[in-house]
Amino acid sequence: MTVKALSVASEVFPLVKTGGLADVAGALPAALKPHGVETVTLIPGYPAVMRELSRGEVVRTYTDVIGAPMRAIRGNARGIDVIALDAPALYARDGGPYADPAGRDWPDNWRRYAALGIAAADLARTQGFDIVHAHDWQGAMAPVYLRFSDGAKPKALVTIHNMAFPGRFEASIFPALKLPPAAYAIDGVEFYGGVGFLKGGLWAADAVTTVSPTYAEEILKPEFGMGFEGLIAARRKSVFGIVNGIDTAIWNPAADPALASIFDVETLELRAENRSAVETAFGLTGDGPIFCVVSRLTLQKGMDVLADVADALVETGGRLALLGSGDPALEAAFRTAALRHPGRIGVKIGYDEKLSHRMQGGADAILIPSRFEPCGLTQLCGLRYGCVPIAARTGGLADTIIDANAAALSAGVATGILFDGVATESLARAIRRAVEIFADAPAWRALQVQGMTADVSWSASAKAYAGLYARLIKG
Ligand code: ADP
């Protein structure tokens, strides 16, 4: 039997991407196919989506979805089966999916993503879907609208990619949501005196997943739960951790067109050419291990701690190539660090997909000192590309990296370096450990090979999602 799934996502690679959510929404449909799941992705009709849409067929027309006319157009966009929501008043704007070109959140984001939820609930019902799989706060109103309206109720699953984004708005928007008054309650969308989109979804969904088993445990604690810990505890039996994979066709060092030289475990020496390309791109000179960073520059990612450790990194003989953007103060801190250490620290502020592949294919290690990390994808790319991850022991990082302690090294299973507690001393120590192992070429090579042969694909996790869909549908 084929299961028909409607994936409700605010970004999907390669159409629109601001982070890992897009990668997951982009890769999961293909990974689910062998398990008998046919996925259609419901996505707002941003310009980048509407431009790519081909063979479009209007499947629903709405005259008024909380104030905006909207058409649901089913078609294909860059290989993805989509239903795009053509609603120019809501989505036809320059800038990012959530913010204007100056980086300010759109003031009507609540309307834009409530509309996504309303359309999702209607389309799930009218287009014969068996299950709605909603992602993060932007998709989370789908199960709420299913719950509070009449008609068939396909099962609904919400996946939390990052608990730090609750989609919380002033209570004054509630009447415009066109939900019954009863929905403004603990059993509904009320969240600390306002309207919580993620809250509503976590309450209304038949099941909740998050993107790693460790994060699923962590969010039961106040320091990770961001105010949701009580609700997560109440729903504990329906909360599952399923670790993300990466698209191993896109992230394939043996066939990656972004690389100066392709390579695999048998031809690891060919990586040297990519390493030179990283040196050139970041103006690095001399020698010593190249640590790289591909990240949003935020406190979540521990980038303030890394900025504090930059001098120590150089003192150990290491070099740093950093690609990222985010907090202006952190951007400035890294720019200054690069000025202090010409040839040893190179910094590119921005977003560059191609360069991120080159860095994974040429740097020796990738630093991920996140304070919390629901799953994290860059460590998975690093593993696959022989770029050894050095990461905080939290969330998905703890689940996907095997620390190079003495036992793991001698057993030949270590794939990276994990450290506890995101602070300057612990990160500096982890970097020193990496420099020591790097000096022992066979030991470092073993780390790389063990990482490259670890399974970072979607296969096991897609099976887990398909199994969960089946259980929910069966009831
Ligand atoms: P998050 O979603 O919290 O930002 P993840 O590690 O889950 O973190 O996913 C981040 C994704 O975005 C990865 O695919 C990573 O390679 C990519 N990425 C992050 N910053 C940049 C950047 N500056 N340039 C290119 N790719 C980036």
Q: Please report the domains of the chain, with CATH numbers, ordered by start residue.
A: 3-245+459-474 (3.40.50.2000), 265-453 (3.40.50.2000)
* Pairing verdict, β 194-196 and 190-191: antiparallel
**CA-based nearest residue to 44, from 105, 101, 96:** 96
For residues 66-90, average pLDDT:
97
pLDDT at 55: 84
Predicted confidence band of residue 211 (pLDDT cuts 50, 70, 90): very high
**pTM for the predicted model, two decimal places:** 0.94
Atom of ligand 1 nearest to the CA of 323: 23
Hey, whose CA ends up nearest to atom 26 of ligand 1?
353
User: Can you say how many angstroms the Cα of residue 153 is from the centroid of all Cα atoms in its chain?
Assistant: 28
Hey, whose CA ends up nearest to atom 24 of ligand 1?
351
Ligand 1 centre to CA of 265 (Å) is 25
Compute the distance between CA of residue 257 and CA of residue 96 in angstroms, rounded to an integer.
27
Establish how many alpha carbons lie within 13 A of residue 373's alpha carbon, considering only the half-sphere containing its beta carbon: 31
**Positive or negative torsion for Cα 138, 331, 355, 274:** negative
Which residue in the block uniquely carries the two structure tokens 């048998």? 266
CA distances from 10 to 2, 13, 136, 400 (A): 25, 11, 9, 26
Ligand 1 centre to CA of 165 (Å) is 16
* Pairing verdict, β 131-135 and 155-160: parallel
Compute the distance between CA of residue 465 and CA of residue 446 in angstroms, rounded to an integer.
32
pLDDT at 393: 98
Q: 127 CB under 6 A from ligand 1? A: no
pLDDT at 30: 96
Helix axes 197-204, 109-126, angle to 10 degrees: 20
For residues 335-350, average pLDDT:
98
Compute the distance between CA of residue 466 and CA of residue 192 in angstroms, rounded to an integer.
34
Establish how many alpha carbons lie within 13 A of residue 311's alpha carbon, considering only the half-sphere containing its beta carbon: 5
> Residue 376: pLDDT above 90?
yes
Ligand 1 centre to CA of 296 (Å) is 7
Atom of ligand 1 nearest to the CA of 18: 12
pLDDT at 122: 97
Sheet holding 365-368, edge to edge: 345-349, 319-326, 290-297, 365-368, 388-392, 417-419
Tell me how far apart the 2 most distant CA atoms of the chain are, in Å.
68
Dump pLDDT digits (tens) for 248-267: 999 999 999 999 999 999 99
Establish how many alpha carbons lie within 13 A of residue 370's alpha carbon, considering only the half-sphere containing its beta carbon: 26
Mutate to test the pocket of ligand 1, among 246, 295, 387 (most ligand atoms within 8 A of CB): 295
Atom of ligand 1 nearest to the CA of 375: 7
Predicted confidence band of residue 370 (pLDDT cuts 50, 70, 90): very high
Ligand 1 centre to CA of 23 (Å) is 9
Mean pLDDT of the chain: 97
Q: 165 CB under 6 A from ligand 1? A: no
Burial group, residue 269, by CB count within 10 angstroms (0-12, 13-18, 19+): exposed
> Residue 471: pLDDT above 90?
yes
**CA-based nearest residue to 322, from 354, 356, 298:** 356
Assign 12 to helix, strand or coil: strand
What sections of 84-149 are H helices per DSSP? 88-91, 109-126, 136-139, 141-147
pLDDT at 322: 99
Tokens of 253: 């060092």
Compute the distance between CA of residue 468 and CA of residue 206 in angstroms, rounded to an integer.
11
User: Can you say how many angstroms the Cα of residue 196 is from the centroid of all Cα atoms in its chain?
Assistant: 21
> Residue 54: pLDDT above 90?
no
For residues 372-380, average pLDDT:
97
> Residue 360: pLDDT above 90?
yes
99-103, 144-148, 317-321, 386-390: segment of lowest average pLDDT: 99-103
Which residue in the block uniquely carries the two structure tokens 């990296």? 401
User: What percent of the chain has pLDDT above 70?
Assistant: 100
For residues 408-415, average pLDDT:
96
Backbone dihedral angles phi then psi of residue 46, each to the nearest 5 degrees: -65, 160
Residue 243 near residue 161 (C-beta atoms within 8 A): no
**Positive or negative torsion for Cα 249, 253, 254, 255:** positive
Quickly list DSSP for 203-229: HHSSEEEES-HHHHHHTTSHHHHTT-H
Compute the distance between CA of residue 427 and CA of residue 370 in angstroms, rounded to an integer.
11
> Residue 134: pLDDT above 90?
yes
pLDDT at 65: 97
Q: What is the four-CA torsion angle of 454, 459, 465, 467, rounded to 10 degrees?
A: -110
Compute the distance between CA of residue 230 and CA of residue 196 in angstroms, rounded to an integer.
14
Q: 368 CB under 6 A from ligand 1? A: no
Burial group, residue 288, by CB count within 10 angstroms (0-12, 13-18, 19+): middle
> Residue 1: pLDDT above 90?
no
Compute the distance between CA of residue 430 and CA of residue 316 in angstroms, rounded to an integer.
11
For residues 108-129, average pLDDT:
98
Q: 323 CB under 6 A from ligand 1? A: yes
The single-letter code of the amino acid at 417 is I
